[in-house]
C-alpha cells in the first residue's frame, strides 16, 4: 500500500511539474510576442515599462512610443490570444471527455457554423434591418450575434440528441448536420452580400486577433476563468465516465445532467471568445491531444494542461501570423488550420486503424 501511495504521489508531482513548465513557457512566449513586430521594441524596453507600472515613482520612465505600442496594441492582443486559447482548448478537452470521442471539438459540434452564420447576418444586414432592432448593442452587434448563434447551436444539438436519446454519437451527428446547415446559410449570405460586407465577412471567417482591445480582455477574462473553474469541479465525474457509462451511473453520477452542464459551460466560454476573434479552428482539437500525451487522461490535470497548451499554440501562431510577412499580417486561422489539418488526419487514420 505504501508503495502505491509513493507511486501516486510521484505521478502527481510529475504532472504538477509539467503544468509549472508549461506556465513558464507561456510567460516567456508572452514576453517574446510582446517585443516581436514591425515596430522595434526590445525586451529591456518592455521590462522598463513593466517596472514603471509596478513602481510609478521609480526612474524607469518608458519611451512614449514604446508605451503606446506595448500597452495599447501588443499586450491586449497577447492577452486575448491567451484567453482564447484557454477557452477553446479547455472546451475541447471537456467535450472529448464527456462524449468519449477524441475527434470532438467545439467546431465539430457545429458551434463554428452557428457563430459564422450569426456574424454573417450582422455583417450583411447590420446597417439596415438589425441596426434598428439592436441599437443598444452598437459596436457589439457582430460579436453579440456570433455569440448568440454559436451558443444556441450547442443547445440545439443537445436538444436534438435528448429527443432521440442522449448518446454521444447523436450529439456529434447533430452537430455535423447543423454545421452543414449554417454553412449553407453563410454561403447564401455571401451570394447576396454587397462588396464591402463580403470582404468583411471573409476576413472575419478567417479568424484574427488584430481587433484586440483592453475592453474585450476585461470582458472575456473573468467569463473564461469562471467557466474553466466550474468545469474543474466536474473533473472527477468525467474521470468516472471514462471508465464507462455503467460505471459512472453505478457511482451515482447523473450522466444527463453532467453532459448538459459541461456542454453549456464550455460552449459559453468558447462562443464568447469566438464572437470577438472569428473562426479559429483546431485549437480545441489539437491542444487536448498533445496534453494527453504529456500528462495523461486524468481530467484534474488534463483540463488545465489543455488550457495552457491551447494558449501556447494560439499565441505562437498569432505571433508567427503577424511577423512572418511584417508589416502585413496573415489571419491566424490560416496558421492554426495549417497545423491542425495534418494532426486531425493523423488522429483520424490512427482511430481507423484501431
More confident residue, 206 or 51: 206
Domain that holds residue 268: 13-353
Q: Evaluate whether residue 185 is within a structural domain.
A: yes
Q: Is the pLDDT of residue 86 over 50?
A: yes
Name the more confident of 160 and 61. 160
Residues 6+ apart with CB under 8 A from 315: 26, 29, 30, 33, 78, 81, 82, 85
In a domain, 296, yes or no: yes
- What's residue 136's pLDDT? 43
Q: Predicted confidence band at 332 (pLDDT cuts at 50, 70, 90)?
A: confident
Quick one: pLDDT at residue 75? 86
Question: How confident is residue 53, by pLDDT bands cut at 50, 70 and 90?
Answer: low
Instruction: Provide the 10 A C-beta neighbour count for residue 139.
Output: 8
**Nearest Cα to Cα of residue 267 among 118, 137, 87, 116:** 87
pTM (global) more than 0.95: no
Contact 334, 206 (CB under 8 A): yes
- What confidence category does residue 133 fall into, taking pLDDT thresholds of 50, 70 and 90? very low
Is 178's pLDDT higher than 60?
yes
Note whether residue 6 is domain-resident: no
- Per residue in 5-34, pLDDT (tens digit) is 666 677 788 888 999 999 999 999 988 888
pLDDT in tens, 261-316: 888 898 888 888 888 888 887 888 889 988 988 888 888 999 999 999 999 999 99
The pLDDT of residue 153 is 86
Q: Which residues contact 241 (CB under 8 A, 6 or more apart)?
A: 97, 98, 100, 248, 253, 255, 258
In a domain, 1, yes or no: no
Does residue 111 form part of some domain? yes
The number of domains in the chain is: 1
Which pLDDT value is given to residue 131?
45
| pLDDT score at 3 | 60
Does 322 reside within a domain? yes
What pLDDT is recorded for position 4? Answer: 64
The helices-and-strands tally (H runs, E runs) of the chain is: 16, 0
Asked if residues 272 and 221 have their Cβ atoms less than 8 Å apart, the reply is no
Whether 40 is covered by a domain: the verdict is yes
7 is a domain residue: no
pLDDT at 134: 43
On the question of pLDDT at 135 being above 50, the answer is no
What pLDDT, on a 0 to 100 scale, did the predictor assign at position 81?
A: 93
Q: What is the mean pLDDT of residues 315-340?
A: 83
Q: What is the CATH number of the domain that holds 118?
A: 1.10.3470.10
Task: Find all residues with CB under 8 Å of 135, minimum gap 6, and list them.
Answer: none
* Mean pLDDT, all residues of the chain: 81
Amino acid at each position: 500500500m505504501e508503495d502505491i501511495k509513493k507511486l501516486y504521489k510521484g505521478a502527481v508531482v510529475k504532472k504538477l511539474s509539467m503544468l509549472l513548465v508549461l506556465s513558464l513557457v507561456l510567460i516567456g512566449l508572452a514576453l517574446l510576442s510582446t517585443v516581436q513586430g514591425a515596430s522595434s521594441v526590445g525586451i529591456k524596453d518592455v521590462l522598463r515599462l513593466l517596472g514603471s507600472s509596478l513602481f510609478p515613482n521609480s526612474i524607469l520612465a518608458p519611451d512614449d512610443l514604446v508605451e503606446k505600442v506595448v500597452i495599447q496594441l501588443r499586450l491586449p492582443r497577447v492577452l486575448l490570444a491567451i484567453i482564447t486559447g484557454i477557452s477553446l482548448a479547455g472546451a475541447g478537452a471537456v467535450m472529448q471527455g464527456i462524449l468519449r470521442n477524441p475527434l470532438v471539438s467545439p467546431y465539430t459540434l457545429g458551434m463554428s457554423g452557428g457563430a459564422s452564420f450569426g456574424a454573417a447576418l450582422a455583417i450583411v444586414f447590420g446597417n439596415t434591418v438589425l441596426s434598428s432592432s439592436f441599437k443598444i448593442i452598437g459596436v457589439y452587434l457582430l460579436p453579440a450575434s456570433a455569440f448568440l448563434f454559436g451558443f444556441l447551436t450547442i443547445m440545439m444539438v443537445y436538444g436534438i440528441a435528448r429527443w432521440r436519446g442522449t448518446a454521444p454519437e447523436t450529439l456529434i451527428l447533430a452537430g455535423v448536420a447543423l454545421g452543414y446547415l449554417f454553412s449553407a446559410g453563410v454561403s447564401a449570405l455571401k451570394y447576396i452580400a454587397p462588396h464591402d460586407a463580403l470582404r468583411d465577412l471573409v476576413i472575419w471567417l478567417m479568424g484574427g486577433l488584430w481587433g484586440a482591445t483592453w475592453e474585450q480582455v476585461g470582458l472575456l477574462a473573468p467569463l473564461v476563468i469562471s467557466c474553466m473553474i466550474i468545469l474543474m469541479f466536474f473533473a472527477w465525474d468525467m474521470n468516472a465516465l471514462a471508465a464507462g457509462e455503467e460505471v459512472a451511473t453505478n457511482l451515482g453520477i447523473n450522466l444527463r445532467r453532467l453532459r448538459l452542464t459541461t456542454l453549456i459551460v464550455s460552449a459559453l466560454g468558447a462562443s464568447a471568445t469566438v464572437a470577438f476573434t472569428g473562426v479559429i479552428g483546431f485549437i480545441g482539437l489539437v491542444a487536448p491531444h498533445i496534453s494527453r500525451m504529456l500528462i495523461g487522461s486524468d481530467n484534474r490535470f488534463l483540463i488545465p494542461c489543455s488550457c495552457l497548451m491551447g494558449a501556447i499554440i494560439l499565441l505562437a501562431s498569432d505571433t508567427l501570423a503577424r511577423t512572418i510577412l511584417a508589416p502585413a499580417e496573415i489571419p491566424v486561422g490560416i496558421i492554426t488550420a495549417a497545423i491542425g489539418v495534418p494532426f486531425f488526419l493523423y488522429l483520424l487514420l490512427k482511430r481507423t486503424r484501431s
